Amino acid sequence: MLSLRVGGDSKMRTDSIVTVVVPLVPAHDRFVPQLIAQLVQQREPIERVILARSSARSRNMEPLMKSVSALRAKHDIQIEVSATRRQQLAGQNRNRGWDQVGTTFTAFLDADDEYSENRLAHLVEVAQSEASDLVLHDFLLKDSDSDSLLDDTFCLGDLLRTPELFDATFPDGRNRSREGKQPGDTNINIPPNATKHQTVHHGHVLVRTSLRQYFRYGNLYPGEDGQFCRDVLWAKRQVTYVPAKLSAYRPGLSAEASASVALRTRRKLTRFAEFSRVRA
């Protein structure tokens, strides 16, 4: 594993309790500058940003490192690139970045999405007031770049907690080995009449760092982030849902969407090849 530290100051932010971990593959590198620009606008101070990058070769790492160096010159933010030459799934990248966190909370983000300016401050406030192990929130599904992400508001009285989320997600128990077979079967479900918001972004979460002793991201793809959230909820740890759209997901624009399409295409080709062999 290759670990490279780049930042405006060699000292960590002692006033922060949050580290941001971003799983990265080469296709996501181009989104890093816009992500960092969003993070420096957060009201909650960030100790550092860890870019957990896989498939790292000297040839494809050079543009990323140049970009990170330029960001250091522009912003006063600590950035670490934790890279491995191996081709790894998102869950493996998340775990590798998580292992290097020393703050109370870890914020997992995706490089190719957008985030509310006050997002981290809201999540930390909730986590501290609720003694949360995991904080989830609603998100905006963007159809185009013209859709704007507003600073959504919420009341602490509207928060959903482990009992309500557990009953809505596991009404008939759980068979973890079969998760990932059907669309939506790795989701955390919101009670239908609990709130006007009905969605959860499982990849944009705040988690108590100490949970890594008991929970890890798996190799399911796609769906490893949702399954991780379900693992924490199934164990009846303190999970809190914030009914506010604090991030935006761009399904037609993101690199993850392209990777998902490529994965589905490979699976179809594999099934077709197997079918052809059987017929022959």
Q: Regarding predicted confidence, which is higher, 147 or 42?
A: 42
* Cα 55 to Cα 25: distance, rounded to the nearest angstrom: 7
pLDDT digit string, tens, across residues 169-183? 999 999 999 999 998
Using a CB cutoff of 8 Å and minimum separation of 24, what contacts does 176-185 make? 176/227, 176/230, 176/231, 176/234, 179/220, 179/223, 179/227, 179/230, 180/220, 180/223, 180/227, 185/223
| Among the listed residues 227, 123, 221, the one whose alpha carbon sits nearest the alpha carbon of residue 175 | 227
Residue 62's pLDDT is what?
A: 86
**Per-residue pLDDT tens over the stretch 247-257:** 988 776 544 44
Looking at residue 75, its pLDDT comes to 87
CA dist., res. 184 & res. 195, Å (int): 19
Banded model confidence at residue 196, pLDDT cuts 50, 70, 90 = low
Task: Give the pLDDT confidence score for residue 13 in this predicted structure.
Answer: 53
Full 3-state SS string of 52-78: EECCCCHHHHHHHHHHHHHHHHHCCCC
Residue 165 has pLDDT above 90, yes or no: yes
Query: What is the per-residue pLDDT across 140-152, written as a single tens digit (0 to 9) for each?
Result: 887 766 566 666 7
pLDDT at 93: 94
